[in-house]
Structure 1
Amino acid sequence: MATYYKSNLCSICSKPTAKSFCIGCKKYFCRKDFKEHEQQLSITFDNEIVGSHDELLDLIQKLEKSNYLSLHIFDQIEQWKQTTINKVKKAAEKAQHELIQLIENQKLTIIKQLKPITKEIRSLREDENIVETNIDRLRKKINEMRQKLEKFTQKDINKSVIVSDEQIDWNRLIYISQEQQQKYYPLRSPPTTNIHPNTRWQQNAITVAGGNQQRNRINQLSYPRGLYIDDDQTIYVAEEENHRIIEWKWSATSGQVVAGGNGQGREDHQLNRPYDVIIDK
C-alpha cells in the first residue's frame, strides 16, 4: 500500500500525530492505527480476492477433470430431447391416423361413384351399342377417380397430401444462450391475453412506451427489461437503470412510477436493478 508522510489528524483515533496517508481510501492514520489498517486490508485481500481466485481455479479444475455429460445442464437437455421425441411421435401417430381415415373415406367415395359406371359398362357391352362419346365420357370419369387414389401410392405423396411446417428452424429449436452477447428478458401477460410463445410480431409497429431518448423522466425509459401486459392493455415495465417499475396506460404519452424510482438501494421505497415484473391480482 503506497503512502506518504505528513502530520494530520488520525482518521481512527483523531490524534494529531497522524503522518501516514493511504492513497487507496484517502485517509490519514497514526502509526498504530496505520498498522491495523494494513493488517485489515491484508485480511480483506486474502478473504475476498485470493479466496475468490482460488475458488475460481478449483471450478476450472473441476470442469477439466469431469465428464461434461455428467453436468446437470446436460440432464436438462436430455430430458428436453426425450420430451420432444415423444411429442414428435404423438404428432406422427396422429398424422398416420388422419391419413388412414382420409384414404378409407376416399376409397368408399370412389367405390360408390364407380358402381353406376360399372353398371353402365355392362349394359353397353350387352347391348353392343358403344359409340365414341361413351368411351370419351367413361374414360374421363375413370381417370378422375384413378388420380384421386394414385396420390396415395405415388412417391411424391408429401407434395399433395402431407402438410408439414417447413418453417421450423431446427438450429434454434433448442440452443445455448450466450449471456455475454445477448440477454433475453421475459414478456408476461395474464392468461386472458393469450400471447403464444412463438408469436410473430409485426415488423412495422407503433411505440407504446418510451421512445423519448434514454433518461429517467416519466415519458422515458432506460434499459427496459421485463414487461407485463394487463387485461386492459396496460404495460408494466421493469427499468434496470432507473431502478423502478413504471406503468403505461393504453395510448398514454407518459408513464406512472408504481414501484421504486427513488434511486438504487435496499430500502422499502427503493429497487435495485429490477429486470422482471409480474402483477398478481
Structure 2
Amino acid sequence: MASVTAKQLCIKCDKGGGVATCGGCQQWFCVKHFNEHRQELAIGMDNLGEEHDLLQRDLTQGNAMHDLVSYVNDWEQKSTTKIQAVAEQARIDIQKYLDHKKQQLKTSLNQVANELKSSRQSDDYTEIDLKKWMEQVKQIREMLENPSTIRIIDSNDVQSIIHLIQDHMSDGVPSSHICQKCGRKFSIVDNCGGDCIHGGTWHARYEDCSYLKCGFNLGIKASIGKQHWSCCYSLERESNRCSKSGPHIVVQHEN
C-alpha cells in the first residue's frame, strides 16, 4: 500500500498549500504568500539602495567631517581665550608680587644705609659691624636676583584638556631660612644682626676682663666685678641671643 506524504503548511495562512520554500528564511509559502514574500524582499532591497545612495552623497560632500572640524575649531578658539585670560592674570599677579618684594628689599637696604650713616657719624663701627653689613647687602642682592618664592607650575593633570600655567607665589612673607650658627629660623630681608648666638666669651673671673673695655661698657651700675659676655656685655649666662651678633648665616632653605 502506497504511503501518503503530508503537505507543508504555509507560514502565512497555515493552509496545506505550501508549494515553495524560501532559501533565506527556510519557510514554506503558498503561491500567493510566496509572491508577497518576494515583494517584501524587493522593497527591503530598494530601501537599502536608497540608504546607500544617501551615505554615498554624505561621504562625497563631507558634511559629517565638516561638523567635527567645526567643533574642533570652536574648541580651539574657546581654549585659546581661556589660556590668554589666565596668562594675563598671571602676569598681573607676578608683577604685583615683584613690586611688593622690591619694596621690601628697598626698606631693608634703607635700614642698612641708615646704620652706615649713623656709624660713620659716630665713628664707632668695628670689623663685626662691617661683616654684618656686607652680609646684609649680599643677601639683599641674592633676593633681588633670585626671587626663590616664585615658581611657575605647568599643570600636567590628565583630566584637564587645557594645561594651564599657574603662578605659585608666597603671601608676601619673606622666605624662611635656618641659621648655620644658632639653628633658628630667620627672614632673609630682616636679617640685620643682633639675634644670633654670642660671638665672644663668658667672663667669669676678674682676670678675664679688660678694665677699660669691660668697665666702660658695663658701666657703674653693673661694675666690673659682674660676670658677663665679652661681646655684648650681657649678664645673663644662659642667654643665646647676642645684641651685638652679626647676621644669621644660611645653612639651608625652606619653602
Q: CA deviation at 1:128?
A: 4.2
1:90 counterpart (75, 85, 93) = 85
Q: Report what 1:165 is aligned to.
A: 154
Q: Does the alignment pair 1:112 with 2:107?
A: yes
Q: Report what 2:210 is aligned to.
A: none
Q: CA deviation at 1:18?
A: 1.7
Q: Report what 1:240 is aligned to.
A: none
CA RMSD, 1 decimal: 2.8
Question: Does the 8 A contact of 2:119 with 2:125 survive in 1?
Answer: yes
TM-score, length of structure 2 as denominator length: 0.53
Structure with larger RCO (C-alpha < 8 A, sep 6+): 2
Q: Report what 1:16 is aligned to.
A: 16
Q: CA deviation at 1:73?
A: 2.1
Deviations 1:128-184 (A, max 9, x none): 4443212210011111111111125xxxxxx752332342569x827xxxxxxxxxx
2:142 counterpart (136, 142, 147) = 147
Quickly say closer, same or farther: Cα 1:115–1:160, change in 2 above 3 A. Answer: closer
The one-letter amino acid paired with 1:52 is E
Q: CA deviation at 1:126?
A: 3.5
Paired residue secondary structure (1:142): helix
Q: CA deviation at 1:118?
A: 0.8
1:27-38 alignment runs, 5 A limit = 27-38=27-38
Q: CA deviation at 1:52?
A: 2.2
1:1-281 alignment runs, 5 A limit = 7-47=7-47, 49-63=48-62, 71-151=66-146, 161-168=150-157, 173=161
Paired residue secondary structure (1:112): helix
The one-letter amino acid paired with 2:150 is V
**Structure 1 residues without counterparts, runs of 5 or longer:** 1-5, 153-158, 175-281
CA distance in 1, matches of 2:124, 2:90: 48
Report percent identity of matched pairs: 24
CA distance in 1, matches of 2:50, 2:121: 104
Q: CA deviation at 1:113?
A: 2.1
Paired residue secondary structure (1:23): coil
Question: Does the 8 A contact of 2:9 with 2:17 survive in 1?
Answer: yes
Question: Does the 8 A contact of 2:8 with 2:28 survive in 1?
Answer: yes
Q: CA deviation at 1:107?
A: 2.0
The one-letter amino acid paired with 2:58 is L
The one-letter amino acid paired with 2:30 is C
Tell me which structure has the larger Cα radius of gyration: 2
Paired residue secondary structure (2:24): coil
Q: CA deviation at 1:105?
A: 1.5
Quickly say closer, same or farther: Cα 1:124–1:79, change in 2 above 3 A. Answer: same
CA distance in 2, matches of 1:60, 1:67: 8
Quickly say closer, same or farther: Cα 1:131–1:78, change in 2 above 3 A. Answer: same
CA distance in 2, matches of 1:90, 1:20: 76
Paired residue secondary structure (1:110): helix
CA distance in 1, matches of 2:71, 2:59: 22
Q: Report what 2:185 is aligned to.
A: none
Quickly say closer, same or farther: Cα 1:103–1:17, change in 2 above 3 A. Answer: closer
Paired residue secondary structure (1:164): strand
The one-letter amino acid paired with 1:61 is T
Count of aligned positions = 157
Paired residue secondary structure (2:151): coil
Question: Does the 8 A contact of 2:20 with 2:34 survive in 1?
Answer: yes
